[in-house]
Amino acid sequence: MTTDSKHPETLVLHGGTYRKDATTNSVAVPIYQTTSYEFDSTEHASNLFALKELGNIYTRIMNPTNAVLEERLAALDGGAAALALSSGSTANTYAIQNLAKAGDNIVSSTDLYGGTWNLFNNTFRNLGIEVRFADPSDPENFRKLTDDKTRAYFGETLPNPKLNLFPIEEVANIGRPLGIPLIVDNTAGPINIRPFDHGAAIITHSLTKWIGGHGTSIGGAIVDGANFDWTAVPERQPLLNEPDGSYHGVEWATAIPQMFGAQLAFIIRARVVVLRDQGGAISPTNSFNLIQGLETLPLRLKQHNENAIKVAEFLKDHKAVSKVIFPKFHEGENKKRTEKYYKNGFGSLVGIELSKGIEAGKAFIDALELHYHVANIGDARSLAIHPASTTHSQLTAEEQLQTGVTPGYVRLSVGLEHPEDIIADLKKGLDAAEKSG
Ligand code: PLP
C-alpha cells in the first residue's frame, strides 16, 4: 500500500510501499543486516544484473531496510526515487560525479558548508573536475560562469553562517534551457523548503542532521525529482547520453525511460555505476536509526522552528549582541527570498555577533552549560560553536569575513529543550561575553 497523502506528517510514516514485513508481518521496519541475497536461478540472477528485473543483488548497491528509507525520503521531498548513502558528503560527491568527469566543470554557489567547499575546491580540482564559484546574491552569476563543459549548478538551500536562502527558481530557470540541472543540498531545510516545487532537478541531504535528529548516525541521500529532460541537450550530459562502457554500452537517458516508464536515468546510474564502483553504501542499521528520526521529523521541526523564533527574539534585544542572523530578520532581497522559499517557520539555525569580538565568543561558549559545544547542527539538543576559534580558525581573518564569520560570531542550532531553559543558558553565555576583554 502506498498513501496518496501530501502531508509530511503522514508521508514520513506511510510514504513508499512498505506496510509490514512480508514474512513476519513486523510493523517496525526490520534491519536486514545481510550482505547478499540468494538468486532463484541463473536466469533470475542474469535478469537482475541486466536490470531486466528489479531486485536485491548485494548490499553495496541495495538493501530492503535502505529501500524503505529511500522511498520515504523521495515521497517527503515530492521526488520520484532516492538513493541512501553513507553520509551527506558521499551524497554530494556522487551527485556531481554522476554528471561530471575530468575536464568538465560545475558552477556552485560560494555559500557552502566548509566540508563541501573543500570537496569542490580541492578534491574535485585534483580529480580534474573544475568547480567555478558564483555569488548567489545575483543568480545571473551562474550564467556568466557557464561554458560548454558545464554539467550542473549547485547550491545549498540555507547555508550558514549567512542563512540567506538560495535563489532556487532563478538558477534552475537559467540552467534548464541549457540542459544544466540544479542540484541543491537541502540538509538545513527538510520540509521547510521544497526545492522540487521551484525547479530543482536533484536534492541532496545529510541525514545526519535534522532528519536523524538524535545525533546517532551519519547518513546521506540523493533524491531525483524525475523532472529533468536529460536528452533535451544531449551533448551537455555525455555521461547519461553516450554509450556507457561499464554497463554494456547502455545510453542511460534514453534506455531508462523505455525500461521503467519514467525518467529515472540519474538516480539509477548513481546507484548502479557510481555507488557500485565507489562503494559509499549506508549500513542497514544506520538506515533503521535514521528511519526512527524521520518518523517524527515534522513534529520535531515545528518545535525547533518555534524555539528558534523565541531564542532569536530574545537575542535581538540583548546589549551584548550587535547582530542576530536569522531568516526572519532579513531585509531587502534576502527578505523576499525568505518569504518565497521558507513556508513553515525559519529553521533552527541562529547566528549572533557578539559586540566584544573573539574573546567574547570564547567566553560565551565556555560559560554555556546546557548547550553542547560541538561541530554539528540539527540535533535534538541545543548546540553552539564559535567558528573563528574552531571550524574557521585555519582561514585568514579576511577569508573568515568573506565566508560571513566575524570574530564574535557564534552559531546556534536551537534544540528541543524548553525555550525558557535554552534562554536561561544563553544568558549565562551573554553575561560572560559582556565581562570578557
Ligand atoms: N551538507 C551540509 C549543508 C552540511 O551541513 C553537512 C555537514 O555538516 C554535509 C553536507 C555533510 O554531511 P555529513 O556530515 O553527513 O557527511
Three-state DSSP string of 405-416: CCCCEEEEECCC
- C-alpha 109 – ligand 1 centre gap (Å): 15
Question: Where do the domains of the chain lie?
Answer: 8-292, 298-435
- C-alpha 113 – ligand 1 centre gap (Å): 7
Indicate whether residue 116 lines ligand 1 (CB < 6 A). Answer: yes
pLDDT in tens, the chain (437 residues): 579 999 999 999 999 999 999 999 999 999 999 999 999 999 999 999 988 888 999 999 999 999 999 999 999 999 999 999 999 999 999 999 999 999 999 999 999 998 899 999 999 999 999 999 999 999 999 999 999 999 999 999 999 889 999 999 999 999 999 999 999 999 999 999 999 999 999 999 999 999 999 999 999 999 999 999 999 999 999 999 999 999 989 999 999 999 999 999 999 999 999 999 999 999 999 999 999 999 999 999 999 999 999 999 999 999 999 999 999 999 999 999 999 999 888 999 999 999 998 899 999 999 999 999 999 999 999 999 998 888 888 778 887 887 788 889 999 999 999 999 999 999 999 999 999 97
- Gap between the Cα atoms of 218 and 216, Å rounded: 7
Q: Which CATH architecture has domain 8-292?
A: 3-Layer(aba) Sandwich (3.40)
- C-alpha 397 – ligand 1 centre gap (Å): 24
**Whose alpha carbon is nearest atom 13 of ligand 1?**
88
Given this model, what pLDDT does residue 389 score?
A: 86
Q: Which homologous superfamily is 298-435 in?
A: Aspartate Aminotransferase, domain 1 (3.90.1150.10)
Indicate whether residue 115 lines ligand 1 (CB < 6 A). Answer: yes
- C-alpha 84 – ligand 1 centre gap (Å): 14
Indicate whether residue 113 lines ligand 1 (CB < 6 A). Answer: yes
133 in Cβ contact with 108 (< 8 Å): yes
Given this model, what pLDDT does residue 392 score?
A: 83
Which of 117, 183, 187 to mutate to test ligand 1, by most ligand atoms within 8 A of the CB atom? Answer: 187
Ligand 1: atom nearest CA of 92 is 10
Q: Evaluate whether 8-292 and 298-435 have a shared fold.
A: no
**Whose alpha carbon is nearest atom 10 of ligand 1?**
88
Given this model, what pLDDT does residue 292 score?
A: 98
Given this model, what pLDDT does residue 144 score?
A: 98
Which has the closest alpha carbon to 56: 73, 71, 76, 36?
36
Indicate whether residue 342 lines ligand 1 (CB < 6 A). Answer: no
Rg (CA), the chain: 22
Residue whose grid cell is 552569476: 141
Which of 90, 208, 348 to mutate to test ligand 1, by most ligand atoms within 8 A of the CB atom? Answer: 208
- Gap between the Cα atoms of 112 and 38, Å rounded: 43
- Gap between the Cα atoms of 236 and 179, Å rounded: 6
Which has the closest alpha carbon to 384: 392, 372, 396?
372
Given this model, what pLDDT does residue 390 score?
A: 86
- C-alpha 368 – ligand 1 centre gap (Å): 25
Indicate whether residue 89 lines ligand 1 (CB < 6 A). Answer: yes
- C-alpha 116 – ligand 1 centre gap (Å): 8
Ligand 1: atom nearest CA of 207 is 15
Indicate whether residue 185 lines ligand 1 (CB < 6 A). Answer: yes
Calculate the CA 144 to chain-centre distance.
Answer: 26
Q: Residues 206-240: pLDDT tens digits?
A: 999 999 999 999 999 999 999 999 999 999 999 99
Residue 137: C-alpha distances to residues 152, 153, 201, 339 (Å): 18, 15, 21, 15
Given this model, what pLDDT does residue 421 score?
A: 98
Indicate whether residue 88 lines ligand 1 (CB < 6 A). Answer: yes
- C-alpha 342 – ligand 1 centre gap (Å): 20
Given this model, what pLDDT does residue 426 score?
A: 98
